[in-house]
Amino acid sequence: MKRLLIDKILYAAASLFIVMSLTFVLMKTIPGDPFQQEQALPTAIYQALRTHYGLNDSLSEQYVRYIKQLALFDFGPSLIYSGRSVSYIILEAFPTSAILGAAALILAIPSGILLGILSAIRRNVWQDTLILLFISIGISVPSFVMATLLQYILGIKLSLLPIAQWGGLSHIVMPALSLAALPTAFIARMTRVKMIEELGQGYVTTARAKGLSEVTIIFRHVLRNTLIPIISYVAPLTASILTGSFIVEKIYSIPGLGYWFVTSITNRDYPLIMGITIFYCALLLATSLIADIISLCVDPRMKRQRTPMSP
pLDDT higher for 238 or 192? 192
- Is residue 189 situated within a structural domain? yes
∠ CA(214), CA(218), CA(219), 5° rounding? 120
- Is residue 272 situated within a structural domain? no
**Structural domain count of the chain:** 1
Q: What is the CATH number of the domain that holds 146?
A: 1.10.3720.10
Give the residue-averaged pLDDT of 58-74: 81
- Is residue 303 situated within a structural domain? no
pLDDT at 309 over 50: no
Instruction: Check if the beta carbon of residue 242 is closer than 8 Å to that of residue 102.
Output: yes
- Is residue 128 situated within a structural domain? yes
From 16-25, 33-42, 117-126, 245-254, the region with the lowest mean pLDDT: 33-42
Write down the pLDDT at residue 37: 61
- Is residue 203 situated within a structural domain? yes
Domain that holds residue 211: 92-247
Of residues 290, 271, 283, the one with CA closest to residue 244: 283
pLDDT higher for 191 or 258? 191
- Is residue 26 situated within a structural domain? no
Write down the pLDDT at residue 296: 67
Write down the pLDDT at residue 243: 59
- Chain segment 246-288, per-residue pLDDT in tens: 778 888 888 888 778 878 877 777 888 888 888 888 887 887 7
pTM, whole model, 2 decimals? 0.72
From 21-30, 199-208, 287-296, 300-309, the region with the lowest mean pLDDT: 300-309
Mean of the per-residue pLDDT values of the chain: 78
- Is residue 230 situated within a structural domain? yes
By percentage, how much of the chain surpasses pLDDT 90? 0
- Is residue 179 situated within a structural domain? yes
DSSP state letters, 12-61: HHHHHHHHHHHHHHHHHHSSS-TT--SSPPPHHHHHHHHHHTTTTS-HHH
Write down the pLDDT at residue 310: 38
